[in-house]
Structures are given as C-alpha cells and as structure tokens.
C-alpha cells in the first residue's frame, strides 16, 4: 500500500498548488515588488520623483525615470540624493507606494 499512499500525497499537493494559484490570480495580478533607488530630482510642482532605480525582477529594468507617488507629503519628505525603498505593483509602472527614505548612514 506504500505506493498508493505516495500517490495520494501527490494528489493533495497538486490540489494545494491549484488553490494557491487561484487565490493568487484573484488578486487581479497585482503582484507587489520592492523598489530600491536613489532620488535624482524632486519636482514639487509636478509631484514626481526622478529616481535612479535598481532592477526589479519581473517589473522593470534598472533605469532612471520619473515616478508619481501615492501620497503627496512624500514630495516634501524626500530630497535629491536620498536612497529610498518603495512598493510597486504589476501593471503600474508609474507610481511608487509607501516610499521610505533609508537612514543617511546607508548613503555613499
Ligand atoms: Cu522605467
């Protein structure tokens, strides 16, 4: 009966995997990624940050481009030269969410 037991384990595993992928798909493909980069410019008027971003696997290659932010106060908080992290989502390549400025000791 050993092989039958092993087979039922495989079946359970497949069912679990299917459930997980369904739950994942139901989030509307809004996968979250962690973005890291250095602020090159803050445009208070346009409320955008120009950031030299590191490669984000599955989201965007390393590049410098300007981003909108989810909260306006971030524009006043962030300065050129700051290292930041943010959350970014699949399908939205323009907005940085939950921007955090890294402590100055991490600056070069
Ligand atoms: Cu880009």
- Same domain flag for 82 and 36: yes
What distance, in Å, lies between the first and last C-alpha atoms of the chain? Answer: 63
73 Cα to the center of ligand 1, angstroms = 23
Q: Read off the pLDDT of residues 6-45 as tens digits, 9 standing for 90 and up.
A: 677 666 666 556 555 544 554 566 899 999 999 999 999 9
Q: What is the extent of the structural domain holding 90?
A: 32-106
Question: What is the spatial distance between Cα 3 and Cα 56, in angstroms, rounded to a whole number?
Answer: 43
Average pLDDT over residues 50-55: 98
Q: How far is CA 1 from CA 6, 9, 17, 28, in A?
A: 9, 13, 25, 42
- Same domain flag for 36 and 11: no
Q: What is the pLDDT of residue 84?
A: 98
Q: What is the pLDDT of residue 104?
A: 77
Is residue 64 within a helix (H) or strand (E), and if so which, with residue range?
A: strand 63-69
97 Cα to the center of ligand 1, angstroms = 15
44 Cα to the center of ligand 1, angstroms = 20
- Same domain flag for 49 and 92: yes
Q: What is the pLDDT of residue 59?
A: 97
93 Cα to the center of ligand 1, angstroms = 7
Non-local CB neighbours of 93 within 8 Å, separated by 6+ positions: 59, 60
């Amino acid at each position: 009966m050993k092989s039958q037991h092993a087979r039922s384990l495989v079946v359970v595993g497949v069912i679990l995997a299917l459930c997980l992928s369904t739950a994942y798909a139901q989030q509307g493909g809004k996968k979250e990624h962690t973005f890291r980069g250095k602020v090159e410019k803050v445009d208070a008027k346009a409320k955008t940050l120009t950031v030299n971003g590191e490669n984000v696997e599955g989201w965007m290659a390393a590049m410098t481009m300007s981003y909108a932010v989810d909260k306006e106060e971030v524009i006043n908080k962030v300065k050129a030269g700051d290292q930041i992290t943010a959350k970014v989502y699949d399908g939205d390549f323009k907005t940085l969410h939950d921007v955090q400025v890294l402590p100055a000791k991490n600056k070069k």
